[in-house]
Amino acid sequence: MGLESRRAGLLIVFEGIDGTGKSTQVQMLAEALRGLGREVVTTFEPTDGPHGRRIRELFTRRDTVSPEEELALFMADRRQHVAEVILPALAAGQVVLSDRYYLSTAAYQGAAGLDAERIIAENESFAPVPDCVLLLEVPIAVGRHRIEALRGEVLNDFEKEETLCRVAAVFNAIRRDYIKRIDASRPLAAVHRSVLDQVLPLLGAGVTNEVRPC
Ligand code: TYD
């Protein structure tokens, strides 16, 4: 193993199926942490970089690529995200809040037939392990209702009910100490409170996880 660099910041990730309210909770947490005087970077995957844009083009025609090709696109997007956004922010001591990260790849591409644990291992060979993953959980029907009725959106190929059931099953099966499962079917403020309960104890700890350089 090569040189190890200490990281001064914190990496906090929101995960879950579509329609769990991740992006709203990211914003609420960002505001709360800024109020505590922390420098916060909010980010998301798929990114809006070249690979992320290519991924979004596939939203309505997933059947034109194999699961392996799809995986390669998400991995390329993540490599760029890690190198250009996440590692520099952590090195600068900032708190990084990411709306999705590599457990989404494990769950979604795992649901498409690939090996979820192998995907996690491949990601952890270059991507920093999060300090905390807030896994927002809602029944599939609730997520679907939030996408269709509340946002007025049509479900894309990643969001079909059958797919989401498989995705949720993979999320359920992944066991890591850093995963905190939160019932996100409750009102926003209650979910935010549960998020703070998990995150605030991390702030004072002067967290210095080891990361391998890319
Ligand atoms: P999403 O966060 O829903 O983006 P948007 O807000 O633009 O709709 O992510 C898009 C989809 O991509 C989502 O259904 C999950 C899927 N996805 C994967 O399949 N693998 C991954 O590694 C990531 C990050 C997302």
Work out the burial of residue 86: count CB atoms within 10 Å of its CB; fewer than 13 is exposed, 13-18 middle, 19 or more buried: buried
Over 80: is that where the pLDDT of 140 sits?
A: yes
Coil vs helix vs strand at 135: strand
Is 104 close to ligand 1, i.e. is its CB under 6 Å away? yes
89: which residues sit within 8 A by CB, 6+ positions away?
Answer: 9, 41, 96
The whole-chain average pLDDT of the chain stands at: 91
> Tokens 């760029």 appear where?
80
Is 77 close to ligand 1, i.e. is its CB under 6 Å away? no
- Would you say 129 and 178 are in contact if contact means Cβ atoms under 8 Å apart? yes
5: which residues sit within 8 A by CB, 6+ positions away?
Answer: 91, 211, 213
Q: How many CA atoms lie within 13 A of 145 on its CB side?
A: 6
Nearest ligand 1 atom, CA 45:
24
Over 80: is that where the pLDDT of 213 sits?
A: no
Over 60: is that where the pLDDT of 183 sits?
A: yes
Q: What is the pLDDT of residue 208?
A: 39
Q: Where are the domains of the chain?
A: 2-201
Q: What is the pLDDT of residue 206?
A: 43
CATH 3.80.30.20 for domain 2-201: no
- Would you say 17 and 167 are in contact if contact means Cβ atoms under 8 Å apart? yes
Ligand 1 centre distance from Cα of residue 209 (Å) = 27
Residue of 189, 208, 150 lying closest to 5 (CA atoms): 208
Q: What is the pLDDT of residues 62-111, one digit of tens each?
A: 889 999 999 999 999 999 999 999 999 999 999 999 999 999 999 999 99
Task: Give percent above pLDDT 90 in the chain.
Answer: 78
DSSP helix, strand, coil percent of the chain (3-state; round to 5) = 50, 15, 35
Is 123 close to ligand 1, i.e. is its CB under 6 Å away? no
Q: How many CB atoms lie within 10 A of CB 190?
A: 13
Task: Give percent above pLDDT 70 in the chain.
Answer: 92
Ligand 1 centre distance from Cα of residue 3 (Å) = 33
